[in-house]
């Protein structure tokens, strides 16, 4: 066999990249780069616009660019010259953006950036017109055009932010279509990443949040996009939080207790914010999130202002739901310090009585905490948490907890004794159905003959301390199974099935009653 030449390559130099991969490689983050070449001060007092013109005169020899260059002319070297031709240049650039040619589009967009850099306030008068043209350029599948356009937008936000924050309402409403769920997700992400710089500059966070939520009341399809915008605002580099994240997160979480805000929309926005955080922030840097959400929870628990209990209950429900969302990500990998969260949950249970809505979400959080395969809890901490859950003065909530933790590895050790105690307090028929659900989950019925030998009893271990309950349970079983016709069975099939499922697993038997059954 002929040997391969030394120059033979194992892989192709050029590979086909699908659209999704090319989109993933686009980076419009201009805020963490070294200064843009045209931000550097010129010793000759040349305008940035003129520097861009000189650059593209060398790099682009296409016919479409040559037309653009001739329309601009060379009399733009100084700021007075540029100002005197301002309206003409704006008209030329808008016209070329309207009738865009891919060969000259990148140069045209750089001219827009340079003009904004030079004129600032004078350029802001035309911002709306340029923004509309840029939005039109995003209706494409060309990744180069998308990258150039969003980079241009990012620079406009950077250079004009002082004017944008003073006129935030119309600016944000013009951005909202890019955050709509009707747009592709990559458009949402690029728009959020670009505008996050402006959002960080807004000092009145409450007014900004009100503006966002008010806009979402009109355009609810922008909820996920606005959640992404808030995430990009608190996002730093290399999987870290931005320095503004701590103050902004506390403000957002405390807003869940603000009656003046539309809470349902706010909760949906924050839920998407948390999803983005868990997916993009490194778990090693997650302490900022956990510290602040636990701080807000503890503050609401200790607050003596309980004049409006419904508001507090709803706010707490939302906070705990956000914790549940974060724990569901990859088996709880985002949780850095499980013991600290357990202490917070125990404090919630101890400080005051909550309604069933809050308790239900607590159960969901505890279930996710106990069963997260990436969460390490010691037996001591787990036992403490479960004891506090089982001490809740609500049979319905404890029953929910038992059913939620059927697949928990420590179920038999920590949960089953509490489940048996609960059954002794429930109506006999209700307890029968609860026990049957436990048994079916732990020892599923053998549907194949080959599996009969593998079948074994489940150790329910009803001790003599439950003697009165055992008597009630067996009498209930006898009443259910004492049937004389098919019609009696079909009319009571659920109870009959539950009785037949549970009967073989009852070990602490009164033999006389058992034989009768």
Does residue 66 register a pLDDT over 90?
Answer: yes
pLDDT for res 363: 98
Average model confidence (pLDDT) across the chain: 89
CATH code for the part of the protein at 23-195: 1.25.10
Instruction: Find the mean pLDDT for residues 165-177.
Output: 95
- The tens digit of pLDDT for each residue in 422-444 reads 999 999 999 999 999 999 999 88
Mean pLDDT of 464-480: 85
pLDDT tens sequence across 82-117: 999 999 999 999 999 999 999 999 999 999 999 999
Band of pLDDT at residue 420, cut at 50, 70 and 90: very high
Do 107 and 65 meet the contact criterion of CB atoms below 8 Å apart? yes
Residue 103 has φ and ψ, to the nearest 5°, of -70, -25
Mean pLDDT, rounded, for 181-201: 94
Give the pLDDT mean for 442-465. 78
Question: Which pLDDT value is given to residue 277?
Answer: 98
Render 439-488 in DSSP notation, one character per residue.
HHHHS----SGGGGGG---------GGGHHHHHHHHHHHHHHH---SHHH
The pLDDT score that the predictor gives to residue 34 is 46
358-386, pLDDT tens digit by residue? 999 999 999 999 999 999 999 999 999 99
Residues 186-199 have a mean pLDDT of 94
The tokens describing 291, both together, are: 């510290």
**pLDDT at residue 477 in the model:** 87
**What's the pLDDT band for 508 if we cut at 50, 70, 90?**
low
Instruction: Tell me the domain boundaries of the chain.
Output: 23-195, 426-447+457-516
Residue 69 banded pLDDT, cuts 50, 70, 90 = very high
Mean of pLDDT values over 493-504: 90
Tokens of 459: 């150790």
Q: Is the pLDDT of residue 40 over 70?
A: no
pLDDT at residue 167 in the model: 94
Contact 345, 365 (CB under 8 A): yes
pLDDT at 412: 94
- Tokens read off for 355: 């309604």
* C-alpha to C-alpha distances, 504 to 79, 126, 211, 452, 500, nearest whole angstrom: 93, 81, 63, 13, 8
- Per-residue pLDDT tens digits for 310-328: 889 999 999 999 999 999 9
Cα separations in angstroms, 407 against 366, 438, 441: 13, 10, 8
Asked if pLDDT for residue 513 goes beyond 60, the answer is no
Q: Are 278 and 326 in contact (CB under 8 A)?
A: yes
pLDDT at residue number 38: 47
Three-state DSSP string of 260-278: CCCHHHHHHHHHHHHHHHH
């Amino acid at each position: 066999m002929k040997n391969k030449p030394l120059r033979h390559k194992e892989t192709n130099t050029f590979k086909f990249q699908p659209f999704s991969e090319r989109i993933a490689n686009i980076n419009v983050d201009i805020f963490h780069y070294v200064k843009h070449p045209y931000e550097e001060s010129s010793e000759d007092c040349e305008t940035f616009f003129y520097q861009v013109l000189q650059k593209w005169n060398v790099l682009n020899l296409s016919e479409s660019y040559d037309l653009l260059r001739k329309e601009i002319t060379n009399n733009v070297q100084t700021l007075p010259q540029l100002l005197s031709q301002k309206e003409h240049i704006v008209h030329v650039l808008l016209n070329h953006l309207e009738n865009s040619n891919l060969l000259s589009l990148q140069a045209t967009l750089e001219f827009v950036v340079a003009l904004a850099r030079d004129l600032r306030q004078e350029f802001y008068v035309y911002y709306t017109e340029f923004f509309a043209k840029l939005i039109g350029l995003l209706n494409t599948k060309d990744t180069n055009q998308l990258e150039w356009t969003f980079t241009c937008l990012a620079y406009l936000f950077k250079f004009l932010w002082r004017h944008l924050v003073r006129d935030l309402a119309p600016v944000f409403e013009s951005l909202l279509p890019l955050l709509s769920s009707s747009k592709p997700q990559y458009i949402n992400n690029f728009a959020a990443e670009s505008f996050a710089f402006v959002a960080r500059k807004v000092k009145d966070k409450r007014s900004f949040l009100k503006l966002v939520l008010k806009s979402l009341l009109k355009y609810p399809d922008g909820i996920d996009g606005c959640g992404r915008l808030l995430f990009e605002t608190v996002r730093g580099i290399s999987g870290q939080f931005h320095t503004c994240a701590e103050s902004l997160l506390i403000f957002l979480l405390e807003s869940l207790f603000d009656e003046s805000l539309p809470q349902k929309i706010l909760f949906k926005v924050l839920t998407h914010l948390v999803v983005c955080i868990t997916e993009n922030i490194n778990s090693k840097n997650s302490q900022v999130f956990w510290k602040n959400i636990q701080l807000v929870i503890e503050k609401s628990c200790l607050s003596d202002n309980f004049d409006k209990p419904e508001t507090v209950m709803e706010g707490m429900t939302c906070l705990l739901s956000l914790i549940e969302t974060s724990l569901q990500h990859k088996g709880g990998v985002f949780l850095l310090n499980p013991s600290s969260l357990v202490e917070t949950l125990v404090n919630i249970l101890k400080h005051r009585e909550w309604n069933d809505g809050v308790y239900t979400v607590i159960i969901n959080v505890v279930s996710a905490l106990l069963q997260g395969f990436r969460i390490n809890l010691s037996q001591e901490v787990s036992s403490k948490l479960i004891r506090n859950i089982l001490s809740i003065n609500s049979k319905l909530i404890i029953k929910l907890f038992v059913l939620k933790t059927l697949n928990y590895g420590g179920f038999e050790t920590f949960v089953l004794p509490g489940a048996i105690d609960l059954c002794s307090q429930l109506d006999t028929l209700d307890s029968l159905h609860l026990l049957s659900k436990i048994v079916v989950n732990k020892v599923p019925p053998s549907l194949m003959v080959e599996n009969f030998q593998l079948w074994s009893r489940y150790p329910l271990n009803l001790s003599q301390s439950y003697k009165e309950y055992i008597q009630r349970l067996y009498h209930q079983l006898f009443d259910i199974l004492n049937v004389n016709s098919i019609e009696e069975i079909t009319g009571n099939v659920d109870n009959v099935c539950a009785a037949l499922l549970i009967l073989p697993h009852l070990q602490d038997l009164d033999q006389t009653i058992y034989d009768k059954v």
